[in-house]
Amino acid sequence: MKIALIGLPGSGKSTLFTAVTGLHPDEKDVLKPHLGTVFVPDERLDNLAKIIKPNKVTYTEITFLDTHGLDFAHSREADGLVIVLGVFSEAPPKKDAEEILTNMILSDLEIIEHRLPRMKKEIEAGKKFQDMTEYNLLLKCEAQLGKTRPLKELPLAKEEEKLLHGYQFLTMKRSFFVANIAEDRIGKGLDADITDLASKENIEILELCTKIEEEILELAENERLEFLKGLGINELSEDKIVKMAFKTLNLISFFTVKGAETRAWPIKRGTHAIDAAGKVHTDIQRGFIKAEVINYKDFMECGDFNEAKKRGLLKLEGKDYVVRDGDIINFKFNV
C-alpha cells in the first residue's frame, strides 16, 4: 500500500514525511522522490502472537512517498493521497487547498484531452475500440472535470472503474488533508474556512504539528508519547496518519495464523473470501475450496482453536463470504 504526500512548497510536507517515517531525505536530492515504509500497529495481532507464539509476526506495511512540490506523475502510482496544508503563516490554507485540488483536476483533464483525439482517429479508421465504451466513458469524465468536480463523485459501475484504473486519475483517489499547524495553535482548532471546504469536498482533515513530531525523533521511543501528552497531544503522528489512511481507503484487516507466521492482511471493506485468498497467494484463490473463519473477538474469548471448535465458532465459509474486520482465516484449497 502506497500513500503519496502532496503539498505546496513550504507546507511542511517533507517534515511530515520525516516525522512519520523517521527518515531524513538527502537535501541534495530534493527533486528525487523519497520512499519510507512504516508498520501498521495492531494490538490484535500482538495478542494473537502471545497466544499462538509464532516464529514470525508480520504487520501490514504502508509506504509513504514524498515528492518535490506537486509531482503528480509519481503521485499517480499511489493508492491514496495526503494533501498537506501549512497552517502557520498568514496565507490561508483554504487558498492552498483549492489550488491543489484545482491542479489535480486540470492534470486529469490533460490526460483525457490528450487521449480522446487519438481514440477518435482509431474509431474513424474503422478500428473497434472496446465497442466505444471507453471512449464514451472518457467523454463522461471530461464533462465531470469540466465542471471542476473530481471523478470520485462520478457514479461508476465496476466495469467502468476497471476501464479507468490504468489512467491512475488523481481525482479518483481517496485522500485526506493534513493541517500542519504551528506549535502555538495546538488545541485551538482550525478556522471555519478550511473545515467548511473539507466538508464541501467530503475530505477528512487531520491536525498535526510536524515540527514537534520531527523534533521528538531525538527522544527515546518510549519517551515520545509522554512528551507529546505534556503538550496536549495524545497520539503520535505516525499512528494518526496510519489510522486515517485505513479509514480513508476503506480498509480492514484479516489475519492468518498458518504455519510459523502470524500475519495481518489489509483488504477493502466488502471483500469476498475468494478475493481475500488471492491477497495471500494466487494459487490459493485459484484452488479455493472453503475458508475456515473465526473473528478475533470470538477467538480471544475462547483462548484457542480447540475451544472455538467445541463452541461452534470456527465456521466454514464459501467464496462469497464477506470478510469482516478482525477475521482469522485458514484457507482450504487444492491446486
Q: Give 5-42 pLDDT, tens digit per residue.
A: 999 988 888 888 888 888 877 665 666 788 999 888 89
CA–CA gap between residue 208 and residue 213 (Å, rounded)? 8
pLDDT in tens, 216-269: 777 777 777 777 777 677 777 778 888 899 889 999 999 999 878 999 999 999
| Structural domains of the chain, ranges and CATH numbers in brackets | 2-39+59-91+174-248 (3.40.50.300), 94-172 (1.10.150.300), 251-333 (3.10.20.30)
Distances, alpha carbon 317 to alpha carbons 285, 311, 323, 327, 328, in Å:
14, 17, 10, 12, 12
Residue 129 has pLDDT above 70, yes or no: no
Q: What percent of the chain is predicted at pLDDT more than 70?
A: 95
Q: What percent of the chain is predicted at pLDDT more than 90?
A: 59
Among 297, 302, 333, smallest CA distance to 316 is for 333
Residue 204: which pLDDT band, with cuts at 50, 70 and 90? very high
Which pLDDT score, from 0 to 100, does residue 89 have?
62
Residue 71: which pLDDT band, with cuts at 50, 70 and 90? confident
Q: Which residue has the higher pLDDT, 229 or 102?
A: 102
In the chain, the amino acid numbered 271 is: T
Query: Over the chain, what is the mean pLDDT?
Result: 89
Q: Are 150 and 103 in contact (CB under 8 A)?
A: no
Please tell me the pTM assigned to this model: 0.86
Q: Which residue has the higher pLDDT, 120 or 58?
A: 58
